[in-house]
Amino acid sequence: MSPFHFDSLIWHWPIAIYLFLAGISAGAICFAVLLKHFKLGKHAYKSSFVQAACLIAPLAVFAGLGILVVDLTKPFDFWKILVFYNPTSVMSVGVAVLMVYQVALFSWLACLFKEPILKWCDNRWPIVEKALNILMKFEATITGLLVILALSLGAYTGFLLSALTTFPMLNNPVLPMLFLISGISSGAAGTLLGGVLMKGNPDGKEVHFIHNIEIPLILLELALLFTFFLGLILSGGQSQVAALNAIGEGFWGWVFWAGIIVVGLAMPLAFNLFMTTSAKRKFSYVAITASCSLFGVLLLRNFILYTGQMTVA
Amino acid sequence: MKKERRLFLKGACVAAVGVAGASGLSIANSSTSKDDGTPNCKYALIHDENKCIGCDACSVACRETNNVPEGVSRLDIEREGPFGEYPNQFYRFTRKSCQQCEGKPCVNVCPTGAAYHDPKTGIVSVDEWKCVGCLYCIAACPYQIRFINPVTKAADKCDFCKETRLKEGRQPACVEACPTKALTFGDLKDPHSQVVEVLKTTPNYRSKTELGTRPKVFRIASQEGEIKL
Ligand code: SF4
Ligand code: SF4
Ligand code: SF4
């Protein structure tokens, strides 16, 4: 059995990328909201980190949807997913969430960048100002809605797989939680990496704020991974077979232990702890830590998708 | 003694023909009684693994009747064995095709409703036009029998010949083609149908019921073959 080709394999890596992008979008926008409300206030849009998050969130969603469409066997019929809905289908509900999420996302972005937008328009189109003023009235509602939608989107990436009774490793209640938390941590990493690349101060208050959240996130992710696999092993039968196949010897076992656990979780955790004690953060520390996290989350999506489909109930 | 047996055989044949005729009729009826809205039928299939000789007549007939392209199939007969010592060797044959689940995992996950459960016949079908080819149903089917039709690019699978033989008021192609009569097809809701008769009198099993799929393909276990734990 080769790691990328086996009989029961149905969904290939594009789906893993799609799940990754949806997760990072949800995570990044959560951090933009948090940064604005707890640290930066009205001038949040001037921060490189907020700007990075606000770029990542929509771009990742578009790219993810693009991949999803191209991956269909009938890509030109993709609009049928938007027209026909099936309430029992996780995918259908997820697509609906994605659509509403984008509306909320752009409304929130418009509120956030109100000043630069108005300046850019320079009173040329009074309708823009009017529209923005109406939006601003609902800013609190939009923000709340956006956070809820982002969290749903993050969990949906897990529910999409956990709805499959065919595969005992995927059909697992911990999966949505695991995907949500790892998605949020990828959003944090994306925001940090994008922020320092856009000349943000690596020792700024944004970085301190995000790092403080990142440590508990990584610990939670480790706990969830532990619960996930221990739960599978204790249930016995095919679940146990699936779990041991995944994290045992072989290609995917290496991916899990070396890639996900060491590079994706343990190293960022160590760096984070080191940075909290050391006085000053440097560009390279922040960038490397964030890259490790992103790499780990991307591996996790692929790992779960592939190993999950290896063992059939 | 001999005469008695011959008489019995004759009687059995008459009964069998009668039942077959009646179930054929009920198929014809149900396909024409769409207007009254409540046809109330639920088709099921029985595969007798004792009678099956693994000749593949069924899968060949299925391919021809339903225009199934090369490289994919709606029906496969899987072989296990040989068991035992020569010359008393035997194989075990199992049918791999859509189980027409009442729990219908494939229908539940389909985002567009292209995979649907036909309430009139109880048959799980695919609406070729609505299907976008997301493969979700293929991943959701625990029996792994769905596939993408390379011609239509839509999901495809056994539909009990709903669009071909049943429309003509006949039995499914695989059932008609089987030389040993290992397949029995009929309506579970008709208490006098042959399927109900067989299910009530013969011990049978279904595959993966623990997943809540409630399949409508029943199997009569091969008497030979090993018992696995
Ligand atoms: S066997 Fe598979 S395709 Fe057929 S009804 Fe069940 S889940 Fe659907
Ligand atoms: S492949 Fe087609 S039938 Fe299957 S779930 Fe997707 S849209 Fe529905
Ligand atoms: S019932 Fe029809 S479609 Fe299904 S396996 Fe038999 S011949 Fe093929």
Ligand 3 atom with least separation from CA of B185: 1
Q: What percent of chain B has pLDDT over 70?
A: 81
Identify the band that residue B25 occupies on the pLDDT scale cut at 50, 70 and 90. very low
Closest partner CB to A80 (pick from B109, B112, B135): B112
Average pLDDT over residues B155-167: 96
A-chain residues near B136 (CB < 8 A): 89, 91
The ipTM estimated for the assembled molecules is 0.92
Residue ID of nearest Cα to ligand 2 atom 2 = B131
Residue-wise pLDDT tens for chain A (313 aa)?
Answer: 688 999 999 999 999 999 999 999 999 999 999 999 999 988 899 999 999 999 999 999 999 999 999 999 999 999 999 999 999 999 999 999 999 999 999 999 999 999 999 988 887 888 898 999 999 999 999 999 999 999 999 999 999 999 999 999 999 999 999 999 999 999 999 999 999 999 999 999 999 999 999 999 999 999 999 999 999 999 999 999 999 999 999 999 999 999 999 999 999 999 988 887 776 888 999 999 999 999 999 999 999 999 999 999 9
Average pLDDT over residues B145-165: 97
- Checking if the pLDDT of B21 tops 80, the result is no
Ligand 2 atom with least separation from CA of B136: 5
* Distance in Å, alpha carbon of B51 to nearest chain A alpha carbon: 28
- Written as six digits, the tokens of A84 are 């026909």
DSSP string over A146-159: HHHHHHHHHHHHHH
Residue B200 burial (10 A CB sphere; 0-12, 13-18, 19+): exposed
Residue A83 burial (10 A CB sphere; 0-12, 13-18, 19+): exposed
Q: Is B139 close to ligand 2, i.e. is its CB under 6 Å away?
A: no
**pTM, entire model:** 0.89
Range of weakest confidence among B7-16, B87-96, B120-129, B140-149: B7-16
SS3 B200: helix
DSSP string over A92-146: HHHHHHHHHHHHHHHHHHHHHTHHHHHHHHTTS-HHHHHHHHHHHHTHHHHHHHH
pLDDT at position B22: 45
More confident residue, A106 or B5: A106
SS3 B76: strand
Task: Tell me which long-range contacts A228-233 makes (C-beta under 8 A, separation of at least 24).
Answer: A228/A172, A228/A174, A228/A175, A228/A178, A231/A172, A231/A174, A232/A168, A232/A169, A232/A172
pLDDT at position B12: 46
pLDDT at position A281: 85
pLDDT at position B38: 57
A-chain residues near B72 (CB < 8 A): none
Instruction: Give the whole-angstrom CA distance, residue B92 versus residue B65.
Output: 26
- Written as six digits, the tokens of B37 are 């809205």
Average pLDDT over residues B177-187: 97
Cβ-Cβ pairs closer than 8 A, A with B, add up to 84
- Checking if the pLDDT of B39 tops 70, the result is no
B-chain residues near A95 (CB < 8 A): 111
- Checking if the pLDDT of B144 tops 50, the result is yes
- Checking if the pLDDT of B226 tops 80, the result is no
* Residue B141 at interface with chain A, using a CB cutoff of 8 Å: yes
- Checking if the pLDDT of B24 tops 60, the result is no
Amino acid, single-letter form, for residue A265: L
* Residue B154 at interface with chain A, using a CB cutoff of 8 Å: yes
Find how far residue A133's CA is from the centre of its chain.
31
Instruction: Give the whole-angstrom CA distance, residue B70 versus residue B42.
Output: 30
DSSP letter at A88 equals: T
More confident residue, B135 or B13: B135
Q: What chain B residue is nearest to A83 in terms of C-alpha separation?
A: B112
pLDDT at position A261: 97
pLDDT at position A187: 97
Average pLDDT, chain B: 86
- Rg of chain B, C-alpha, whole Å: 19
pLDDT at position A146: 98
